[in-house]
Structure 1
Amino acid sequence: MGAKWERDAAVRDWALAVVVAIVQLAGSSGANAQQTGVRSLDAFAYLLLVAGPIALGFRRLLPEPVLAVALLAAVSYVLRDYGYGPILLSLVIAFLTAAVHGSRWRTYPSVVVGYLMMVWPLPTLLGREVDGWQVFGLLAWLGVLVGIAEGIRQRRAVVLARAQRAEAVQREEQAQQARAAAEERLAIARELHDVLAHSLSLINAQSSVALELFDRKPQQAAAALATIKTTSKEALTEVHTLLHAIRSGAPAAPEQPETPAPEPVPAPAPRAPAPTLDDLDTLLRRTRATGLPVDTRIIGTPKKLPSVIDVAAARIIQESLTNVTRHAPGSTATVTLRYTTDTVDITVDNTRPTGTATRTGLGGNGIIGMRERAHALGGALTAGPRPSGGFRVAARLPARPAGAEVAANGATAGAEA
């Protein structure tokens, strides 16, 4: 695109040079024939008449040297007593080009030099007659010429500034789109992790129980397999619902699974991909079904929380219990919710494990995802070993979203809720 524009500009410049050369040659020949007491045009005069137009072919590449060539040709033409004519046309074009594209300090003095050498006082000192119209009239026209050049220059600066602002705005929009896409990818990854990690951890734990009890206690093994079946079905439903919401760009109603046959399993878990604190009992029943004892403590008066905070609190509890199931077999867990006027505090403690953790190959980002959720809402989360043994996850979330930034980071959680 740039090379084509440069070629087109060069063609236009040389076309202009040809037109100016024709005008100067024809006009100067006619003007010289109509004047008396002037030198007849000779080969040198014609050379001066075409020198300026030829230089105009390079006016975009070398604006200031082209102005110097045109000025030298015009001054030489006038001082050799050739008749006045359109010799100044190439000089005017060269001056406007240099004034717009070049430096003012090197361009504008050429007006003064040209006036002194071609109008007054040098022609008078050389014995040529100069009337008052030439002295003052041409001075006024030169002022107009400088004004035109300055106007074009300012207009060009305004257009350039607007183009730069538009380009800056476009770059900022592209950067915002890139940031939004990155945040959306992180949100999708976090939601998939939250949807799948808990269910797959339950499936892994129950499959271990089923394998261990298959020969000695077949009824308990059958119950574990039934839990695996229910949990896997619910996980598929949650994934389908989440994918539908992602494709449609809006929250979607969860898909209705086929009516299952009666099975000896605990009460069904929520099918929506975003549990809330209202689903806490159901969530704890699913966790207890893996064999992990979980106690709850509620301090303060429970209250309805905004959806993004409610979802984040439930996700933090869910992920914390999933980590206990995977990494601390044989331990017990305690979930504590503390409601205050401005915050809701969540603490998930587990005792020292008595068994060997099962390697599932999953996870590694659970604590990071929980911390991101808390920070996105203006809260905080810490996780680490307890002095008495075991592990603790403690989060403090505001009772209200912490500002407009929540909209970007909690959009997915708010939509699915």
Structure 2
Amino acid sequence: MTPAGPAARTARPAWTTAPWFLLTLPVLLAGVDSALVAKDSPGWAVALSALAALALLLRRRWPVLVLLLTLPGSFLSYIWIAPITAVYSVAAHRAQPRVTVLCATVFALVEFFHWPLSDHPLALDRDNALYAIQCLMLAAGPAALGLLARTRHELADRLDELTRGQQREHRLLTERVLVTERARLAREMHDVVSHQVSLISIQAGALQISSPDPVAKDTARTIRELSVRTLEELRQMVGVLRAAGVRPGVPLNPQPRLADLPELVAGCGLPVRTEFDPGPGPWPEAVERAAYRTVQEALTNAGKHAPGAELTVRVGSAGPRLLVEVRNGPPARRPDPLPGGGHGLVGLRERATLLGGTLTAGPTPDGGFLLRAELPA
């Protein structure tokens, strides 16, 4: 047989630490003490002893009053548990040490000058000295234990407060580090992306003015408009990363919705066939924004990886779900190598998952690509 470990040795039933058990156990012990001591006493002495035991139910709320209610029974009969518990409660639940000393002194005097007074004649002898020491110890013991319990409780509260303070400081430090990192990312985005997009916009504007070809002018104008829109969105994104928002008085651009999809398709510069029937609606804003971003990412990928391919954008509804499907055929020519982070589809899948939907993407048998999202309302 293997010996039990420390956890097994110290394990106790849950009911032994329940509030009702801790409240009623001293009452039961005081009742037994009163019954044993006052069984041969007059009826009024038995009643005072029973009152002392029952008064312990109120010891946490009115400890001084409970002590006063236990003193008559202690004076007339030799009950100890009720007044000792009351002295402990005064020390544990009253913050003034002077009140504890006064209550313990009163209890010691009641025990020393016990009824009948003739049993303890006042005399400077050894018996009275020993009895006085006994009464003092009987009062000082529970008072000291109560003060110790109250001090332990105050230390536990102080430790809990210090722990919460450390956690709060750690959280503030973490937030400060995050703000610093976000500011660094904002600077990098502004210095790199904004510079490159600005150059694209400038070159497109110059091409729009100098080119005699109408098709080239339209293409340059589209590039310039997309560049300006990208710079505006980048400005707002940098403001969010800096945790300072945008300048006061400058309105934020409205977030894209389903109603903005026709404009997005028309300005992408790709041959797109659309089937747009989202149902009666309205759809939640997060769902419409996710649908817009899904079509936007699909058009961007098709332009990079399948130039000249035919595209079909379908937006419909199936009960409480919004269906978004973007399909492109095989590329008409070999795509130019363009850098890509590979995070677009991952971000779209995360958007759909957060909304409780699904997103699938993969090649089709004819060499094209299909992106399909189901977004629940």
TM-score of the pair, normalised by structure 2: 0.51
1:276 aligned to which of 233, 240, 257:
257
Partners of 2:180 and 2:349 lie apart in 1 by 17
2:143 is aligned to 148
SS at match of 2:267: helix
Q: Is the 8 A contact 1:241 1:273 kept in 2?
A: no
Partners of 1:143 and 1:131 lie apart in 2 by 18
> C-alpha deviations, 1:166-215, integer Å up to 9, x for none?
45555666787789899999999999xxxxxxx999999999999xxxx9
Partners of 2:174 and 2:199 lie apart in 1 by 36
Q: Is the 8 A contact 1:241 1:253 kept in 2?
A: no
1:340 aligned to which of 309, 318, 321:
318
2:308 aligned to which of 305, 314, 330:
330
Q: Is the 8 A contact 2:278 2:317 kept in 1?
A: yes
Partners of 2:316 and 2:284 lie apart in 1 by 16
Partners of 1:176 and 1:207 lie apart in 2 by 45
Q: Could you say if the C-alpha distance between residues 184 and 391 of structure 1 is closer, same or farther in structure 2, counting changes exceeding 3 Å? A: farther
> C-alpha deviations, 1:60-103, integer Å up to 9, x for none?
xxxxxxxxxxxxxxxxxxxxxxxxxxxxxxxxxxxxxxxxxxxx
Partners of 1:162 and 1:386 lie apart in 2 by 65
1:356 is aligned to 334
Partners of 2:369 and 2:179 lie apart in 1 by 31
SS at match of 1:354: coil
1:131 is aligned to 126
SS at match of 2:148: helix
Partners of 2:305 and 2:368 lie apart in 1 by 10
Deviation at 1:146, TM superposition (A): 2.9
1:195 is aligned to none
Q: Could you say if the C-alpha distance between residues 163 and 249 of structure 1 is closer, same or farther in structure 2, counting changes exceeding 3 Å? A: same
1:315 corresponds to 2:310: no
Partners of 2:306 and 2:261 lie apart in 1 by 21
Amino acid paired to 1:347: E
Q: Could you say if the C-alpha distance between residues 243 and 377 of structure 1 is closer, same or farther in structure 2, counting changes exceeding 3 Å? A: same
1:295 corresponds to 2:273: yes
> C-alpha deviations, 1:278-303, integer Å up to 9, x for none?
1010011111xxx4222222356241
Deviation at 1:165, TM superposition (A): 3.8
Counterparts of residues 12-411 of structure 1 (less than 5 Å): 131-167=126-162, 169=164, 218-244=213-239, 272=253, 274-287=255-268, 291-299=269-277, 301-399=279-377
Give the stretch that moved more between structures: 180-189 or 328-337: 180-189
Partners of 2:311 and 2:127 lie apart in 1 by 106
Q: Is the 8 A contact 1:277 1:311 kept in 2?
A: yes
Residue identity (%):
28
The unaligned stretches of length 5 or more in structure 2 are: 1-123, 187-193
Q: Could you say if the C-alpha distance between residues 325 and 132 of structure 1 is closer, same or farther in structure 2, counting changes exceeding 3 Å? A: farther
Deviation at 1:232, TM superposition (A): 1.5
Deviation at 1:335, TM superposition (A): 1.9
Deviation at 1:355, TM superposition (A): 2.7
Partners of 2:180 and 2:329 lie apart in 1 by 35
Deviation at 1:389, TM superposition (A): 2.9
Deviation at 1:373, TM superposition (A): 1.9
Q: Is the 8 A contact 2:272 2:310 kept in 1?
A: yes
Paired residue total: 253
1:22 is aligned to none
Q: Could you say if the C-alpha distance between residues 379 and 358 of structure 1 is closer, same or farther in structure 2, counting changes exceeding 3 Å? A: same
SS at match of 1:292: coil
SS at match of 1:228: helix
Q: Is the 8 A contact 2:257 2:288 kept in 1?
A: yes
CA RMSD of aligned residues (A): 5.2
The unaligned stretches of length 5 or more in structure 1 are: 1-128, 192-198, 257-270, 400-417
Partners of 1:228 and 1:306 lie apart in 2 by 31
